[in-house]
Amino acid sequence: MTDVRLAWIDYVLMAIYFAFVIGVGVALKRFMRSSTDYFLSGRAIPAWVAGLAFISANLGAQEVIGMGASGAKYGIATSHFYWVGAIPAMVFVGVFMMPFYYGSRARSVPEYLKLRFDEKTRALNAISFAVMTVFSSGVSLYAMGKLFRLLLGWDEDASMLVAAGIVLAYIFLGGLTSAIYNEVLQFFLIVFGFLPLALLGLKDVGGWDGLQARLMTHSVAQGYAPTAYTQCWAFMGDATRNPVGVEWFGLAMGLGFVLSFGYWCTDFLVVQRAMAADSMTAARRTPLIAAIPKMLFPFLVILPGMIALTVEPRRETTPAAAVAHVGIIPAKTTDSGEVLRDTNARPVIDYDLATPAMLAHYLPAGLLGLGLTALLASFMSGMAGNVTAFNTVWTYDIYQSYFKRDASDAHYLWMGRAATVGGIALSVATAYVAAAFNNIMDVLQLVFAFVNAPLFATFLLGMFWKRATGHGAFWGLVAGTLAAAFHHGISLPEGATVGVKGGFLGVFLSPYRSELAQTFWTAITAWTVCFIVTIVVSLATKPRPDEELVGLVYTLTPKPTEETAFWQRPGTLAVVVLIGTLLLNVIFF
């Protein structure tokens, strides 16, 4: 892989991109007058800008690289992460939850928990969230450094520090507005940078029909039905008959309900973009506008991974790659260049290189520079999303609440900039720790499962059941997180060894077919335990009077008025998005 050489033109395109993202920060600096400007963009962002930022903040490294990798591992079924695992939750947060987030004037998700429940619930959420954002941004930073070393032979530390430095510069200067503006810019750059892969790749393999035909051989060789890689639902009845290793109930409940709603409806990283919108209607439309590109992303990020399986390298790059590759995806190698092999002596394929290998395979000098710039942009948008969420939660929910309650606004603005520097420094430190982990996506899903899975039960009860109390919410969350860890501790996916993969409390559950199946069921367990414990503890503790909960709970809040035209209403948009998603599921059934 290391023989990809860049021409001067490729560096020119990268330089243009760097100049513009930093330029946006510089241009916005003079508008950052108060902490509200810095953390919430003064609540002045139009819906389409907030919507594209919403999706772009999520379109980080784990998305572009991870989904390409999953496309190669699981085929078209990977689009369940979009059509099942994102769209329904995005519609729900826009239609039903945004009125409480935006309407309560909370400045962050943890602050909503403080308004609705109590201080300790907020503290629990704020601290775990802050840790998680730093972890995520560290993981993506590490992935970036490693990738650019493998691909271009760039020095790992240097590329990590440059990328982190640029993100630091534009957020430090222009705060959330800078991050949002650059996320929109990065969104279009990612689309233009990666679309040629899908287009050229499809042309090369003979369109969708050609790809289906080519994947049949691969599918049969893996012991599945011929169309297992090109049909997303047909083999979901039985975990042993599809490459994902999950059955439909675990998929729909674990991914589609618990994990997906836990992420899209409660994660401040995305919700923050909608909170910055310029009106209630704009805030509600933000996730719905974001859902439109989201439902089409499988073509952009999953398809290249699938194509990578079916084309052959034009010339062998290294002797090792000559014997160990699937399609154009090379095997993992040790530092000395030897091919890694599993217990059956078969080479271990490095699926994370599927999309990068496509870049090197199809793009000539010029467009290669654009594709690599798009890759850098995706790393930066993901990192910036984490850093802006971190600096807000740190400043408002941790610093202002527990360290310095009544300082001037200028002081909190200063603190926000300091937290930006601190957050990025911690991310860089985490990047070195993250080196121990393997498939980025699976690890992130695991972390989300422990921390986020119980969360949605808390928000659901908080927003739609006025009887839920602070004690109930707090102990529900604690119990849910413990239940997640416990379930993970007593179960183990097929072929895995006891340890971080599970089973550390002893293997009691019959082995799951795949890590994903185990993760989904961990999430289901956590959610259910949190849901039940919250209800039980709430009923045993004193409820808050109704008048304190106006604007925070569904039954006590006036319905938002629809002042816009019929076709602009969130409800109309929601129906359009759901019908589109349903159609895609039917087409690729």
**Min CB(86)–another protein separation in Å:** 24
Cβ-proximal residues to 532 (8 Å cutoff; 6+ apart), any chain: none
**Min CB(52)–another protein separation in Å:** 9
- For residues 280 and 112, the answer to whether their CB atoms sit within 8 Å is no
Site for another protein in 280-339 (CB under 8 A): 314
- For residues 194 and 362, the answer to whether their CB atoms sit within 8 Å is no
Cβ-proximal residues to 486 (8 Å cutoff; 6+ apart), any chain: 505, 525
**Min CB(3)–another protein separation in Å:** 13
In the bound state with another protein, the residue whose beta carbon lies nearer, of 17 and 54, is 17
In the bound state with another protein, the residue whose beta carbon lies nearer, of 170 and 521, is 170
In the bound state with another protein, the residue whose beta carbon lies nearer, of 24 and 252, is 24
d(CA 286, CA 298): 20
**Helix-helix angle 453-464:440-451, to 10 degrees:** 40
- For residues 475 and 537, the answer to whether their CB atoms sit within 8 Å is yes
For residue 490, state whether it binds another protein (rule: CB under 8 A): no
Site for another protein in 523-582 (CB under 8 A): none
In the bound state with another protein, the residue whose beta carbon lies nearer, of 195 and 478, is 195
Site for another protein in 171-190 (CB under 8 A): 177, 180-181, 184-185, 188
- For residues 354 and 305, the answer to whether their CB atoms sit within 8 Å is yes
DSSP state of 225: -
d(CA 419, CA 399): 10
- For residues 32 and 174, the answer to whether their CB atoms sit within 8 Å is yes
Helices and strands in the chain, H and E counts? 25, 2
Tokens of 297: 């992303």
Site for another protein (CB under 8 A): which residue of 3, 5, 12, 540?
Answer: 12
DSSP state of 86: T
**Min CB(564)–another protein separation in Å:** 16
In the bound state with another protein, the residue whose beta carbon lies nearer, of 150 and 367, is 367
In the bound state with another protein, the residue whose beta carbon lies nearer, of 314 and 559, is 314
**Min CB(438)–another protein separation in Å:** 30
Site for another protein in 228-287 (CB under 8 A): 278
d(CA 72, CA 291): 24
Site for another protein (CB under 8 A): which residue of 2, 11, 153, 203?
Answer: 203
For residue 18, state whether it binds another protein (rule: CB under 8 A): no
In the bound state with another protein, the residue whose beta carbon lies nearer, of 367 and 526, is 367
- For residues 17 and 376, the answer to whether their CB atoms sit within 8 Å is yes
Stretch that binds another protein, among 10-18, 131-139, 146-154, 210-218 (CB under 8 A): 10-18
In the bound state with another protein, the residue whose beta carbon lies nearer, of 11 and 249, is 11
What are the strands, taking DSSP E only, across 165-248?
none
Stretch that binds another protein, among 64-72, 120-128, 355-363, 472-480 (CB under 8 A): 355-363
- For residues 289 and 578, the answer to whether their CB atoms sit within 8 Å is no
**Min CB(559)–another protein separation in Å:** 25
d(CA 448, CA 451): 5
Site for another protein (CB under 8 A): which residue of 296, 365, 410, 509?
Answer: 365
DSSP state of 325: E
Cβ-proximal residues to 330 (8 Å cutoff; 6+ apart), any chain: 1, 317, 320, 321, 324, 349, 350, 353, 357
Site for another protein (CB under 8 A): which residue of 38, 362, 399, 456?
Answer: 362
**Min CB(188)–another protein separation in Å:** 6
- For residues 514 and 439, the answer to whether their CB atoms sit within 8 Å is no
Question: Mask of contacts with another protein, 28-57, x by CB under 8 A?
Answer: x--x---------xx-xxx--x--------
For residue 204, state whether it binds another protein (rule: CB under 8 A): yes
d(CA 518, CA 478): 21
d(CA 419, CA 421): 5
Stretch that binds another protein, among 23-31, 79-87, 88-96, 417-425 (CB under 8 A): 23-31
In the bound state with another protein, the residue whose beta carbon lies nearer, of 29 and 241, is 29
For residue 16, state whether it binds another protein (rule: CB under 8 A): yes
CB atoms within 10 A of CB 346: 11
- Site size toward another protein (CB under 8 A) is 38
In the bound state with another protein, the residue whose beta carbon lies nearer, of 295 and 358, is 358
For residue 169, state whether it binds another protein (rule: CB under 8 A): no
**Helix-helix angle 303-310:354-362, to 10 degrees:** 70
Site for another protein in 426-445 (CB under 8 A): none
**Min CB(187)–another protein separation in Å:** 9
- For residues 379 and 163, the answer to whether their CB atoms sit within 8 Å is yes
Binding site for another protein (CB under 8 A): 9, 12-13, 16-17, 20, 23-24, 27-28, 31, 41-42, 44-46, 49, 177, 180-181, 184-185, 188, 192, 196, 200, 203-204, 278, 314, 361-367, 370
